[in-house]
Amino acid sequence: MRLLTTFIRRVVYACILLIAVLVLNFMLIHLAPGDPADVIAGEMGGATEEILAEIRAAYGLDKPISEQLLVYLGKVAHGDLGYSFYFNQPVTDLILQRVGATILLVITSLVLAVYLGTFLGVVASKKPDGYLSHFVTILSLLGYSAPVFWTGMMLLILFASWLPILPVSGMYNVALEGGRLARTLDILHHLILPMLTLGIIYLAQYSRLARASMLDVLGSDYIRTARAKGVSERMIIYKHALKNAILPIVTMAGLQMSYLFSGAILVETVFNWPGLGRLAFESILRRDHPTILGILFFSTFIVIIANLLTDLSYRLIDPRIHAGAK
């Protein structure tokens, strides 16, 4: 019962936060300089003041901003994210067409960073003054200091010119013939470089975090007691120490979902990956307000869900939290 109450309270807080983000995004977008009617008219080849007035009336741009906000919130409550000025189709359809590619990129990058980074951090913590520990530290510093777009450009140059063994653009080969398995393997082949680009910087962070957390846990009294009882070092590290050291890593994974989505914009642009990031970039260039707001809303929703799942997963990972809630 306590768990259900906690979950409901978290959901209520998440709904309030989502509404606040919706209002903030709407106000920032609509208070920015420029007139969307000019953009729409520009796509039509130019227009007179009369036509501009008709465009504003057709899209509701002639109403006060407070009224526009209320109309927008009402539409969002019914699942309507608006109609794209530039792409000339519902924003929801645009997002559904692109969201799969972005989720695939973000999830695979996060899994790569968490698992490989944690593994490197755990291995490095066994001998804090060893060569491998110093290598992980240097690697994490290099990965953390390299901007995402720079890493992407370097990999693009490397595999486009020097080692042309990996595709550097797109999500799949449109000329590929074959069944579902061949298409899946082709998508995974195209995914390698974008996944590495987005995951490297976070891999560096997780390796440093895992190393520091493991070193802190390995100095605990219960670890010394286990060693005194003759428990094997492998059992101490992977059964006793890692369970407690994993909590900061889970916290970081939940908090970094927003950074992953923002990084995906650059990665998808560099590698021409057909996801939400590239759609956001194109919409910003063309001042397509409904599409920008729809992408921001969906990204916020995903981040909030990820943080909710992270919060609830603590009860599965750490029994002390579950016991304290009783």
Domain with CATH 1.10.3720.10 in the chain: 100-324
**Band of residue 322 on the pLDDT scale cut at 50, 70, 90:** low
CATH of domain 100-324: 1.10.3720.10
SS3 sequence of 267-286: HHHHCCCCCHHHHHHHHHHC
CA dihedral 39, 43, 49, 50 (to 10 degrees): -120
Q: What is the mean pLDDT of the chain?
A: 82
Instruction: For residue range 41-80, list pLDDT tens digits in order.
Output: 765 555 677 777 777 787 777 788 888 888 888 888 888 8
CA pseudo-torsion sign 109, 111, 114, 115: negative
Residue 39 has pLDDT above 80, yes or no: no
Hey, which of 63-72, 135-144, 304-313 has the most confident mean pLDDT? 63-72
Of 28-37, 99-108, 114-123, 294-303, which gets the smallest average pLDDT? 28-37
Among 320, 276, 290, smallest CA distance to 40 is for 290
**Global pTM value:** 0.82
Residue 324 has pLDDT above 60, yes or no: no
**Band of residue 108 on the pLDDT scale cut at 50, 70, 90:** very high
Contact call for residues 305 and 254 (beta carbons, < 8 A): no
Of 91-95, 131-135, 315-319, which gets the smallest average pLDDT? 315-319
Contact call for residues 201 and 303 (beta carbons, < 8 A): no
Instruction: For residue range 188-212, list pLDDT tens digits in order.
Output: 988 999 999 988 888 888 888 888 8
Residue 323 has pLDDT above 60, yes or no: no
Q: What was the pLDDT predicted at 122?
A: 86
Q: Which residues contact 160 (CB under 8 A, 6 or more apart)?
A: 168
Average pLDDT in the 95-117 region? 90
Q: What was the pLDDT predicted at 47?
A: 66
Structure tokens at 194: 């974008």
Q: What was the pLDDT predicted at 308?
A: 81
The full DSSP string for 168-179 is -SSSS-TT--S-
Contact call for residues 29 and 293 (beta carbons, < 8 A): yes
